[in-house]
Amino acid sequence: MWENRIRVIVIKQMNHLSKSKWTSIERLNGWRHYEVLNVLKKRQEVEMFSVCESDIKIMIPTNDLKDKSKWVTGWVGKKSNSD
């Protein structure tokens, strides 16, 4: 019974990921800016596509999106060193 409640909570928390925008810290397939295309709640993964080349798609565990050393919410540009 508790397992079902926990699963429902996790699934509801994943609803906000739909169509969200993300910046990868490292380039993936040559690009850094991605948008969530599908949320696979049971597998706890998201399918994302590159906003610069929409035919490039990747699958990411939702836990990776919580890791600030891998992903940042929104589309963030690199900071220049010439400040």
CATH number at residue 62: 2.30.30
17, part of any domain: yes
**Looking at residues 13-38, what average pLDDT do you find?**
91
- Please state, as a whole number, how many other Cβ atoms lie within 10 Å of the Cβ of residue 44: 13
44, part of any domain: yes
58, part of any domain: yes
Q: How many separate domains does the chain show?
A: 1
- In this prediction, residue 16 has a pLDDT band, given cuts at 50, 70 and 90, of confident
80, part of any domain: no
Q: Model pTM greater than 0.85?
A: no
Look up the domain containing 44 and give its range.
2-73
56, part of any domain: yes
CB contact at 8 A, 78 and 72 = no
Quote the strand ranges of 1-83, DSSP E. Answer: 21-28, 31-40, 45-50, 57-61, 71-73
